[in-house]
Structure formats: structure tokens, C-alpha cells
Structure 1
Amino acid sequence: MPSSAPHEVPTAGHFGTYLAETDGTRVLGLRPDPADPEPSPIGLGVPSSLTAPSRLTAPYVRRGYLEHGPGPAGGKRGVRGRDTYVRVDWDTAVSLTADALRDTIDVHGNAAVFGGSYGWGSAGRFHHPQSQIHRFLNLLGGYTRSVESYSSAAMQVILRRVGGGYAAGLASNPIWREIGEQRSLVVAFGGLPGRNTQVNGGGIGRHTNLRDQRRAREQGAEFVSISPLRTDIDDALDATRLPARPGTDVAIMLALAHELVVAGAHDVDFLQRCTVGWNRFEDYLLGRSDGIPKTPAWAAPISGLPAGDIGDLARRMRGRRTVITTSYSLQRADHGEQAPWMALTLAAISGSLGRPGGGFGAALGALHQLGLEQSRFHPAALPQGLRRIDSFIPVARIADMLLHPGEQFDYDGGRHTYPDARLLYWVGGNPFHHHQDLNRLVRAWQRPDTVVVHEHFANALARHADIVLPAATWLERDDFAAGAADPYVSAMVRAAQPPPGVRTDHTILAAVADKLGIADEFTEGRSEQEWVEHLYEQTRDRAARLGATLPTLDELRRVGTVALPQPPRTVAPYTALRADPAANPIATPSGRIEIFSDTIAGFGLPGCPGHPTWLEPKEWLGAPAAVTYPLHLVSGQPERRLHSQFDNGSHSSAGKVAGREPVLLNPVDAAARGIVDGAVVRIHNARGACLAGAVVSDAIRPGVARLSTGAWYDPSGPDGLDVHGNPNVLTGDRGTSPLAQGPSAHSCLVDIERFEGEPPRVTVFDPLPTAP
């Protein structure tokens, strides 16, 4: 693309649609699409990152690996994370990658290759890193994959067992339009954080979620936010805020259910027709099975909420269309399966499940798409090919896999064996952002023979790799975007040339495929531009079968964003179940909602009984460990970026405090520790420590601290102190339970102190450390 007079081209990311000002070579700036009613500012900081000092502009190989070859790190091979890097040419980098793959598969089999990726790498339908790497590895004969997601693993598994599947739960989500029409009561466990509605997998044509929430409030809907953080719900919703202790939501739900039942306000007809196990659960709820009625007085000392407030909320729910929703954060905790299971059960008890504007909200507020009319149109995507082998791990068990190859693990009622992963190939995604107990992960990361990554920047993933291959960003590629359940398709016109020496993920994999003799199968003889055109024409064909005409790709690139056609709306699974459970069974053994699951009870797994139960987390403010670590740390989605993406950009950087990630503290907790607003603090527990910048505010409950995820991990010295503020040096690397094995990041106790002396400099935004 030759340099020209500045002009604007449309583009799109997971956080919305924008117009990029470009001279054909550089991005001069982004501005939101004028048609977006409430655009996210996240994308505005991305252009500044493209030429940042941490930008990778050539392939690099870790010095110990280059000199001594593949093998576990340590000794003469050096330590991943502490070594220097040698710049190499592309042919050398590609040859080393191909040789490592070939040798690993020949000696150890395809299960020894772990294909690491995540769905947030790019909004593009073609330049989707997860699709690219999985397609490539499937053509090589297969790989070890991960199942579920860090965001929602426990919810995915429990709904598969008791609610007819995760997809059924999402498809039955109440939508804001109907919530407004019904003047519903929305009880949001974990709140409805407006910051989360900025993002959506695959993109957002128009931001409308917050607007629709506010419109529902204007129509008479009422909102209750049960969260330790006051800002976990939009101020315009005029919500009742109940600042409960983190991790106690199941106890509160049980108390609400108890009050509905003893008042005779429960939906006996639905419970008898459309659920199984109600009688056994009722015995637990009323204390007949364990001698403990689950009253508000019982829940009050657990949750830290007055019993009267819990009772008042139960009375507001009686006879009223009600939504019971749980955020993703609640199930990312010890016994995380229990919160969504109990929320589904409470919705069934309330009489609102399967009715318009009511029922179970599966993570309403967690993404832009949730709470809106779901798009049922499926644009074309890059085929990932046939899965050749069935080797897998639960997504949050990667450190266990590396540390304990050959050992067995429980998952979803089965016993499985960890593969012996010798080569990690990571394209799109950053385990040093989303995994827990990063000091443990660093130890595990030394075990493989080879680690290959595609990266934009010299972040922690690149600094812990053997072969680092520089990849183009979404502003440096042509593509088109269509978000999950979002009714728009958007053009992604290349706004900048990648730096010399930087390639797209597809070009990199095609070169490795050529070395391995599978280039024709991988590319199918198409260039990147031809692939984009091919997938878009498939999308147009699908629209035509619905009687709709989408513009040509050239026309789309002129207009930016167009609406997608919608197939006829289908009846939501829980609505159909309520109407006729015999004719419309859901995908459970009984065909009904399983309040008591004989299947789960039959597994006999510790920490996951046969019905929703209050189980004390290992780490919470009522645990013995709270004597030593008296603050509960929560680590949700940041406001200024998507996960860890573009943390080196201007928008994320503007939110730092003393150059570090901000930690929110209540004034009571700050005063007790001599901490003032803006001070550098040290957050610590037995697993690790990090530095952060203090923000003192009464927006958070006393005894709780909030440190967002996504600050690039920046360990200083052998003790692993993270100087930048990544909460996952503090969180525990343990499964929610042996059922789902999801992450339990939100069950985390810490203490905080003022950092004395000159704090170490943040270095993760520097170039990769190099050697001759």
C-alpha cells in the first residue's frame, strides 16, 4: 500500500467499529464509527502501540535454545523468562519451528504438541489466530487441545449436566426489551458491570446494551446489584446495592429461596412438571436433611448482609417477574459450579423461568451480546479441519499438565490422563495473563522441549518462549468481522503496513507448512486476500438463501458496517420446556432442569454434591487464613482494555497509577495500613507478591480489594515480585471442583502494605532483551 494523502478506512475490533486515518503506510489515529451510539474508547489507544518500543519487528530465538537445541530449560539451556534473545532471519526461524514440530511428533506423537490459543486474538473471520493454528496442527495429524474457557468453564460444565447445555442457557437469556416490557426485577449477583459491555467475541457493530438497560429502567424495571463494588452496575439504573462478601452468593440465593418457599410463593407447578429432584433439594433448603434451615438469619453472618435486607429482597421477588443472573466472576471461584446451578434453581422456584423478561440470566452483563436479541445468522469462518486425535486438558489445568505428565485427573465425571506435552505452540492468547499462580506457571513452563509463539510485542509470553515470531496486528491486515450473536458484519481494511520483518499468522504458518510438506492443504492454493474474498462470498451466499442481499466486499469496504439478515426466531429452550416438557425436553438425562442430579451425585466427587449447596470456599473472609491475609482480592475485567491486549497503548497507560495497575481499596483498609491515594503498594500472600498503585475509595466494601486482570506480567528478580500489578501472581491455581476444573481466581486472600523505598522500574514495555 503506497503512501498517499491521509484518508479514512473502516476497521473493527472486539470492542467495536472505527474509522482509521491512514496515509497508506501508517495509522495516524482512530475515531469511533459515527453510527455507534455508545462507542468504546478501548480501540483509540491501539495506534500508539504499533510503534511502541516493545513492538517485535523480527524473529528471535532464545539464546540457550539456539546454542543447545530443544530440551527442558535450565542449566546450559538457560531459564525461560531470564534469558536473552538472538535475532535471526525468517528462514532460520521457520526451519527451527518446522524441525521442532517434526521431531516432537516423530518421537513422542501428536499428543506431545499443545496448540495454545484463545478466541480473542482477532475479530477477523479469516485472521482468527485460533482457527489458523488449529487448522495447521490438525493437518499435521492433531494436537492436544484445551476445552471450555477461562471465562466460563464451571458454568459451561454445570449447565451441560443440569440445564440442557451452555448454549441452551444463553439462548434462554432474558433480553432487556422484554425485561422493560414486563417491568421485571433484575437481581444481579456480581452486578452488571458496564465496562464489560464494551466487548464482544468477533466484534460489535453498534453498542446498544447499556442503552437498552437504561430503557428497561425507564419502563419500570428495577435492579439489585449484589457485589462488593458499587461501580458494578450503571448509575442510571438506580439500583439497590447490596455489598456482600465475595464468594457468599450461594448462601444469599438459598436464603431468598427459603423465604419464597415458606411464604408459599414458589412455582410448585413448574417445579413438579419441569424439574427433577425438587423434593430432595427442599429438604436441604428447609433444614430437614441437615438441621440447618437456610434462612436470612443463617445467611447474614456468612454474606455480611443484614438479614432484614435479604428478607426485603425476597418479599420484592414474590409474585413479580424476576431475573436471577450471575456474572462469570462468581463461577471463577472455589466450588464455582454452585452459583449458576443455584441461580437456575432460584429462577425455577421464583416462577419466572421460561417466561418473557424473567428467569435465569446466564452471565448477563458479561459481554455486549448478552441481554440483546441474539443474531441467528452464522457468517463463514476459516475451517479448522478434522480433529485427528482426542487429547485434551481442561483449559485452566495447563500447569498441572506440564508438571504432572502421565498423571490422571478428573473432569466432567471421567478420569483422564495428562499428556506429556513437549512442544507448546501459542498463537493468539497470553497464558501469562489469564492463568493463575504465575510463579507456579513459570516453574511449569521450564518443562517442555520447545515453546513457539506468535506475538505483536515483547510481553511476558514472548519473554518465556524459545522461538518468537513477530505477527501483524488487526490494523495491519485485510479482513471482515462479525461478532458472536451480533447482527452486523463490518469491514476491516488494512490501515497500516506491518513493520518490515513482520508477517501475518497465516503467512508464518504457511511457511512452516511448506517446510513440512502440507502447504497446499493449508492454503488450498489461495492467497490471504483470496481467502478473505472466499469466506465473504460464502457469507453472502448464506444471506442470499435467506432472501437477503449483502453488498460486495468492495462495497462493504466503502460503507464499513451493514446489518445481517436474521432467520426466523425460534422458541427459547426454557420457554419451550415450560410450555410442554414432554414435547420439548432439554439435553439432560431426565429432559428437565435437574435441581438434583443423580449423575453428579453418582460421580462421588468432593466439592460437588448432587444439588446446589453452600460450600465454604478455601479462601474467603470467613476462612482461618483471613487472620493472616485479611483482604479478599477480586480481579475482574479492566475498564481500559480487553484482557491484556494493548496494555502498552495510550488508553490503557492513561489509567495507570504511579505507572502501575491501580488497586481499589476502601478508606478504612487504607487508613489502617497508612496508605494514601496514589501510593505504590505491595500486595502479597504465600503464592507471590506484586506492586500496584493505590486508589482509595468508598466504592468498594471494606475488607475487599480490586485489581483488574491484564497488566503485563513483569517479574523482578528470582523472588518473582511482579512490579506492574498482575493479580495472577496472587491467585490460586486450583480447579473449581473435580467436576469442571475451572479457574478459581476469585477465591483469593491477600494483605496490602505501603511499599517503602524506590519501587523497581516497569520493564515489560521495553524491547526484548537481546544478545549478539
Structure 2
Amino acid sequence: MLPTPERPTLATHWGTYRVHSDGSVPVGLSPYEGDPNPSPIADAMIAARTSPARILRPAIRRSFLERGAAAGGEARGAEPFVEVEWEQALAIVAGEVDRVRKDHGNAAIYGGSYGWASAGRFHHAQSQIHRFLNVIGGYTRSVQNYSFAAADTILPHVIGDRRGLASGHTPWRLLAGHAELIVMFGGASPKNAQVSSGGLSRHTLREGILACRDAGARLVSISPIRDDTATEAGAEWWAPRPNSDVALMLGLCHTLLSENLHDRDFLASHTTGFERVAAYLLGEPDGVVKSADWAAALCELPAEDIRALARRMAASRTFLMMSWSLQRADHGEQPYWMTVTLAAMLGQIGLPGGGFGFGYGSVNGVGNAAHEIAWPSLPQGSNAVEDFIPVARIADMLLHPGEPYDFNGEQRRYPHARLVYWAGGNPFHHHQDLNRLVAAWKRPETIIVHDAWWTATARHADIVLPVTTQFERNDLVCANRDLMLAASHRLADPAGEARDDFAIFSALAARLGVEEAFTEGRDEESWIRHLYGLARQRIAAVDIEIPDFDQFWRDGITLLPEPAKVKPLLADFRADPHAYPLTTPSGLIELFSERIASFGYADCPGHAAWLPSAEWLGAAAAKRFPLHLISNQPATRLHSQYDNGSHARASKIAGREPLRMHPDDAAARGLRDGDIVRVFNDRGACLAGLRTSDALRPGVVQLATGAWFDPLQPGEPGSLDKHGNPNVLTPDRGTSRLGQGPSAHSCLVEIEAYRESAPPVTSHEPPPFFSRQP
């Protein structure tokens, strides 16, 4: 039996909290006392637990309940649901899973999840669903993630692995006092750094940035949005046209080359292919010299400023940061390859305060000094199905089963997914071109969804199973960037008839004859104790002792000391590239990749290159749609989580997601602050509330992701979204044939006043029900 905590704690993606309770339910949350800059997202959690959108009972789409998979998917998203008893729902789910795997094979099951449903090591929806599907024979999976898919694919070709992307970064303490110039492509956003996938105890971006500033570093934020970097950082603001960063970096590189400011020795000893890059900079293959003047015309920044920045970079210990956001665009692989190229020409890779790193400010904890500990998680087992898709190609898979596509040097075929099983995540939030997804979502025979709230994904399912929230279950959180283990205590009984994913999958496993393989004879408490024991062993291997489980559970939070010794990214490789070679074919940084060149991809050649986006302010399409839409991460929620909560709803304008626009752009369209506007392009349209701001470059508008998809005509592709979801506007096309990542930030729109009576927002209410069982 779990011991009684001295004071209950709740560990989430946006912070760790001490819980105030009236004895039966939580009534308040206080941030962990060691957090210098806590997130307000938690303010929404208590009331949202029992909000009108909470799913209280299993529910099945009416025609599916009557006819099963023969009902087809045309009515998904529009048809009423019927609430049923758990036994009936579980029997139908088990029957559908069994039918599909027997009739079509396990590859016909697509297991969808996005991992952010919980910060816990046990109640991690992605691990739970993948473990279940693996014990019944496997499933078609996805690879990569929406955050940095293109980068995830390109970096192993260039530096051999993914260090400096999600882990292994140069820590802040080797930047402060060493870096003299920090150039941040995409900024370092405080709102993004509210969250971390593995949970967190302390929000550290602010203190990291200010430590660098106070130690004398000069900061430059290169972004079309000024507050992508906090004002107090004192950074210079450069506002290029969106999607022109590669051109800017080429102009910087050309200046280094033409003025002999590049590090020839480092390039010769630690890289391969620079001669091809130099030829490209000089225009030898295409007749286009990539000079600062050439870059200035594309970026709309002064050429002399570009040359001056290159000289400052060469004269200083310079660190290059790049946000994850820049690779979520057409040819998103190129900014990352170009960053490594620019850093290599400066020759400071592997030095304290020098080199490059990706994702500082994209989530909390990037740049924290951390121990190299493989934190335990619920084992997912082995997948007997070899088929997979790049994560952002789900609509392509559903619309084009059996058709070929290219990915990272392979030609693959999309599997025929007849059953989609989704637990954790909301594809009707994070996927692009939602009208296309609505059409694609009609294709599978069966869609099963676990969710706590009636999100658009749940509304577009055939079978919906209600799951618990973090308040309603116990878990263990190991903050993977934050030197913390936290108990997340159960604080309330489940709302309605909600069950946790483990209980649901255990019941299904029993019906399918694999209960022991799934549970291994453990319940929730046994698994949490087991995972903590593994964590304790691995922590002991780095000579740190932590309390036994019972003491840990009573205390709620255990902190680890910082490691005594830290290194810059690629420090060993810099010191001796022969003793510590990279895992690239050459063992060196590949500024030109023979392997990528051999793929023959016109949209990803053998070295970093300027490849203009299909949609940017320099494209012909800008004549019709003259505003570049940035659909960045929200300040008031994590992705779409808690959009129904008080914190997110307080930020809305007449119930719509706020859209920011430069005052000059608003005046040119006769728009004023607080207006309801229609944002549109050829893919769709949504309503939003206008907020004017000079923090944006003219010609750029910002509409955060995460407003729950709320079409005026549910289930109909092309319907007006009433709420302000930008993904009815963003394109669903791969970044390139190499990476196939999402390209949401290459998106052009136009905006006009909405003159009709604005329809009510209904996404935070339950869907229609045909009947309710008592």
C-alpha cells in the first residue's frame, strides 16, 4: 500500500505543484518552492477536471453501434453518440481489434499517440498503447515528432547523431562567461519554455539568458516576432521575412569566405565537403553569388548589417542558437544544416561559449547541466510489424494506401490502415490542413480514441473511452532535463466512469488472451515501485543516493545535484577527431553529404542550400495572400491541453483565439483591435479575435496553435472554423523527400473583417447524444 504523503504533489509538463485540498478534492495548487519562474498554466487544471467537455462514460457513434464497421466513416464528426456500459464498449473494441488483425494483419492497425498526455513514467499514454498493441502482434507506427521531424532526419547525416537537438546541449554554465555573442535564430521564447516533455521542477530559461547577458554576452534575436525573446534580455531584434533564414546565413558565410574570416584549419581537420560549399557560395554551380547583397534582397535586411554581423561573429566567441520552429517549414532541413555550416566556418564548435545548439527556449531544460541517466519507462516491447510512416504523413497514409513515397533515402509504400487506435494526443490540433484530415479521417473502417475531454479527435471517433486525468491517478515523474524525481499523487476520484489507460488495456488484453504479457502481474503501485527501483539503481551508478521508495513517496520531490563536470557539445570530437570520430560516413562533420547527394532529391541536395518556400512573402502566391502566418506555440496552454480551462479562455476575444497583426496591416484593411476577423486561404478559413501589436514585422500575423477545432458544419471538409484553429490554413506537405516533416510555417493567408453575426463557439461543450443510459 502506498504511504500517505506529507503534502500531496502534482507533477505536470508545466511544473511541479504542492496541492491544497479540502480533504476530498484539490482546491488549489502552489508552485514548487524552488521554481524561480512558475507557469500559470496550472491555474486551469482544477476546474477543467469537471468541465462540461469532460467525457464521463464510454460512447459510441450511433450508426457504428448499430452496424459496426459497415457503417462507414462519412458521418464521423457529425453524428450523435450513444453512451454505453463499459462491458459493452470493451467487448466491441476487443472485437474490432481482433477482427482487423485476423482479417488484414496487424499492419492494418495504426497506433496513434503523441506522448504529451502525461509527464509520468507509468501513465504515459504512448507507452501504454504501444505496449498493448505489441503484445497482440504489433501495429503500424510513426517515427519522428511534430516538434523537430526535419531536424531529426538531417542531423545524423551531418554530425552523426542528434546531440544538440533534444539532449547533449552545451550547458548554460558554459555559455555564461564564455560566449561573447549569442545569435538566436527564431529567438528563445519564454512561453515555449514553460513546458518540458518529462516534467520539470524549475523554469530555467530566464536565468540562463540573463546569466549570459550579465556576463557580457551580446544577444541578437532573429525572428519576425520581437517577443520571441524576452525584452529584459536586451537583445538586438532583427526581423527578416519568414523562411529566409538560410539566405541570411548564406550571406553571412559568403562574407566570412570573401573576407578570409573563416577558420581554414578547423574546416580542414574536422569537416568534409567545404570546397563544394565554397563553390556554391561563390555561385560556381548556378551563377548566383550568395553575397550579403543577394541575401539582403531576400531577407529585406540591410546588406551592410549582414556583413557587420559576420565580422562580429568572427571576432567574438560566438554561439548559434536555433529554435525548433524554423525547421517546421518548406525545406526545413536546410536551416539546421546551414547552422552547422556557419558554425564550422567560425571554427568554434566544441569550445565553451562557441558552436551551435538547437531548441534553447523551445522547451524548458534545454541547456541544463544533467547527468547521463537512462530514465526508466514502461517497456513497450517488440513490434513485429516493420511498417511505419513519418509522423506528419498520417493523412497521406489514410488517403493513399499502397502508394509510394520517399523518406530518408528509401522508397516506401503507405500501409492500408483499416483501424486507427489513438490514446494520448489530439491530431486535430497538431496536424496541418485539418480539412484534408477530416476527409482522410473518414477512410478507416474503425477509429477508437481514449480521451479525457471531448476534443475534436474524440468527436471524430467511432468509439470513445473516457480516461483519467493527472489528478485521478498516481505516477512517477523523472524530469529528464531537470535533476528531479517527483511523485504525482492521486488527488481525487475519477470523474464519472473514467478509467486509466492501463486499466483499459489490461481489460482488453484479458479479452484477447494476453493479460499476463501486458501486466506482468503488476498493478499501478507495483509498476511505480518497480520503475522507481530501476531509477534508483541507475542514479546509484553515478554515485548519487536517493531515498527508498516509501520515503520518496511521502516527501513528494527528490532533487539530484548538478554534475561536477560538463562539456560543450562535440568537445571530445574537437579535441581529437581521430580518437572521437562522429558516426557519419567520414567520421567528420559533413558539410557536403555524398549519401544525401546520392538520393537525387531536388528538394534536399548534397549541401545546405537556398530553396525558396512554396509559400513565403517572396512567392508569387503572396499577391493573393499577402500575409505570412506564424502558427506558433501558445502562451496559455500546452499545445491544445487545457484550452477549455480558465487561463486559455481568459485570453480569447469574444471566445475566439487572438490573432496578432501589425497596426499598419490592420489599418490597411480597415480593422481595429477587438474585431472578429476571417482568416483564409485556399485550404480553409477560421474566425479569430484581432489584437494589434508592433511586436510583429509588417506582413506577418501570428495565430497560436491549440484552439479546439470547431467547424461550423461538423464533419464537413472546408467548413469555417469558428474558434481560431490555424491548422485549417496550414499546408499538409512534407518538408522534403528526405525528412517528410511538417511545414506549417510556410503559410500565406489574407484577413478581412467578419461582418456577419459570429456563430457561438461550441468546442468546449459535449457533442450531441442520441440517448443516454441512466
Residue equivalent to 1:726:
725
Residue equivalent to 1:644:
640
Residue equivalent to 2:528:
532
RMSD value, Cα: 1.7
Whole-Å separation in 2 of the counterparts to 1:98 and 1:144: 18
C-alpha deviation, 1:294, in angstroms: 1.2
Amino acid at match of 2:22: D
- 1:21 aligned counterpart, secondary structure: strand
The runs of 5 or more residues in structure 1 that have no matched partner are none
- 1:68 aligned counterpart, secondary structure: helix
- 2:176 aligned counterpart, secondary structure: helix
The runs of 5 or more residues in structure 2 that have no matched partner are none
Contact 1:10 1:557 (C-alpha < 8 Å) held by counterparts: no
Residue equivalent to 1:30:
29
> So what's the TM-score if we normalise by structure 1?
0.97
Query: Aligned pairs, how many?
Result: 766
C-alpha deviation, 1:599, in angstroms: 0.6
Pairing of 1:37-48 with structure 2 (within 5 A): 37-48=36-47
Match of 2:189 among 180, 193, 196: 193
Pairing of 1:488-507 with structure 2 (within 5 A): 488-507=484-503
Give the 3 Å change call, closer, same or farther, for CA 520–565 of structure 1 in structure 2. Answer: farther
Contact 1:9 1:493 (C-alpha < 8 Å) held by counterparts: yes
C-alpha deviation, 1:7, in angstroms: 9.5
2:85 aligned with 1:85: no
- 2:131 aligned counterpart, secondary structure: helix
Whole-Å separation in 2 of the counterparts to 1:570 and 1:138: 38
Whole-Å separation in 2 of the counterparts to 1:331 and 1:657: 30
Contact 1:377 1:566 (C-alpha < 8 Å) held by counterparts: no
C-alpha deviation, 1:333, in angstroms: 0.4
Match of 2:228 among 225, 232, 235: 232
Amino acid at match of 2:753: R
Residue equivalent to 2:118:
122
Match of 1:583 among 579, 598, 602: 579
Match of 1:302 among 298, 301, 305: 298
Give the 3 Å change call, closer, same or farther, for CA 524–16 of structure 1 in structure 2. Answer: same
Which shows bigger deviation, 503-512 or 351-360? 351-360
Whole-Å separation in 1 of the counterparts to 2:719 and 2:71: 20
Contact 2:472 2:494 (C-alpha < 8 Å) held by counterparts: yes
- 2:150 aligned counterpart, secondary structure: helix
Residue equivalent to 2:65:
66
Residue equivalent to 2:212:
216
2:570 aligned with 1:542: no
Residue equivalent to 1:741:
740
2:244 aligned with 1:248: yes
Residue equivalent to 2:677:
681
2:357 aligned with 1:361: yes
- 2:758 aligned counterpart, secondary structure: coil
Contact 1:424 1:448 (C-alpha < 8 Å) held by counterparts: yes
- Structure 1 segments of 4 or more deviating over 4 A? 168-172, 565-573
Contact 1:460 1:712 (C-alpha < 8 Å) held by counterparts: yes
Contact 2:64 2:71 (C-alpha < 8 Å) held by counterparts: no
Whole-Å separation in 1 of the counterparts to 2:269 and 2:495: 63
Whole-Å separation in 2 of the counterparts to 1:571 and 1:27: 43
Amino acid at match of 1:91: E
2:341 aligned with 1:345: yes
Contact 2:369 2:563 (C-alpha < 8 Å) held by counterparts: no
C-alpha deviation, 1:8, in angstroms: 4.9
2:552 aligned with 1:556: yes
C-alpha deviation, 1:582, in angstroms: 1.4
C-alpha deviation, 1:532, in angstroms: 1.0
CA deviation string 1:694-725 (max 9, x = no partner): 01011101100000011111111244111111
- 2:637 aligned counterpart, secondary structure: coil
C-alpha deviation, 1:748, in angstroms: 0.1
> So what's the TM-score if we normalise by structure 2?
0.97
Residue equivalent to 1:634:
630
Amino acid at match of 1:354: G
Which shows bigger deviation, 484-493 or 632-641? 484-493
C-alpha deviation, 1:606, in angstroms: 2.2
Pairing of 1:40-189 with structure 2 (within 5 A): 40-71=39-70, 73-74=72-73, 78-167=74-163, 169-171=165-167, 173-189=169-185
Give the 3 Å change call, closer, same or farther, for CA 7–176 of structure 1 in structure 2. Answer: closer
- 1:532 aligned counterpart, secondary structure: helix
Whole-Å separation in 2 of the counterparts to 1:7 and 1:768: 41
Residue equivalent to 1:14:
13
2:310 aligned with 1:314: yes
Amino acid at match of 1:383: P
Amino acid at match of 2:474: D
C-alpha deviation, 1:167, in angstroms: 3.1
- 1:451 aligned counterpart, secondary structure: strand
Which shows bigger deviation, 284-293 or 52-61? 284-293
C-alpha deviation, 1:207, in angstroms: 1.6
- 1:397 aligned counterpart, secondary structure: helix
Whole-Å separation in 2 of the counterparts to 1:243 and 1:535: 47
Whole-Å separation in 2 of the counterparts to 1:41 and 1:551: 30
Whole-Å separation in 1 of the counterparts to 2:626 and 2:649: 30
Give the 3 Å change call, closer, same or farther, for CA 544–182 of structure 1 in structure 2. Answer: closer
Contact 1:252 1:296 (C-alpha < 8 Å) held by counterparts: yes
- 2:642 aligned counterpart, secondary structure: coil
CA deviation string 1:29-63 (max 9, x = no partner): 21211221111111121111011000001000001
- 2:504 aligned counterpart, secondary structure: helix
Amino acid at match of 2:324: Y
CA deviation string 1:327-362 (max 9, x = no partner): 111100000000000001101111221111111112
CA deviation string 1:433-459 (max 9, x = no partner): 110000000000000011001001011
Give the 3 Å change call, closer, same or farther, for CA 150–655 of structure 1 in structure 2. Answer: same
C-alpha deviation, 1:491, in angstroms: 1.2
C-alpha deviation, 1:525, in angstroms: 1.1
2:199 aligned with 1:203: yes
C-alpha deviation, 1:405, in angstroms: 0.4
Amino acid at match of 1:754: A
Contact 1:189 1:225 (C-alpha < 8 Å) held by counterparts: yes
C-alpha deviation, 1:768, in angstroms: 2.5
Whole-Å separation in 2 of the counterparts to 1:607 and 1:139: 39
- 1:682 aligned counterpart, secondary structure: strand
Whole-Å separation in 1 of the counterparts to 2:42 and 2:371: 24
CA deviation string 1:193-236 (max 9, x = no partner): 11111111110121222112111100101110110101000111
CA deviation string 1:304-345 (max 9, x = no partner): 111122122112112211111221111000000000000011
Residue equivalent to 1:334:
330
C-alpha deviation, 1:173, in angstroms: 2.7
C-alpha deviation, 1:581, in angstroms: 1.3
Contact 2:164 2:170 (C-alpha < 8 Å) held by counterparts: no
Amino acid at match of 1:501: E
Whole-Å separation in 2 of the counterparts to 1:471 and 1:220: 50
C-alpha deviation, 1:565, in angstroms: 6.0
Contact 1:658 1:679 (C-alpha < 8 Å) held by counterparts: no
Seq. identity, %: 51
Pairing of 1:580-729 with structure 2 (within 5 A): 580-717=576-713, 718=716, 719-729=718-728
Amino acid at match of 1:154: A
Whole-Å separation in 1 of the counterparts to 2:343 and 2:308: 17
Which shows bigger deviation, 525-534 or 133-142? 525-534
C-alpha deviation, 1:540, in angstroms: 1.7
C-alpha deviation, 1:23, in angstroms: 3.2
Contact 1:438 1:729 (C-alpha < 8 Å) held by counterparts: yes
Amino acid at match of 1:620: W
Whole-Å separation in 2 of the counterparts to 1:409 and 1:323: 37
Contact 2:452 2:469 (C-alpha < 8 Å) held by counterparts: yes
Contact 1:184 1:220 (C-alpha < 8 Å) held by counterparts: yes
Whole-Å separation in 1 of the counterparts to 2:21 and 2:7: 6
Residue equivalent to 1:476:
472
2:506 aligned with 1:510: yes
C-alpha deviation, 1:572, in angstroms: 5.4
C-alpha deviation, 1:762, in angstroms: 0.5
Whole-Å separation in 2 of the counterparts to 1:578 and 1:359: 11
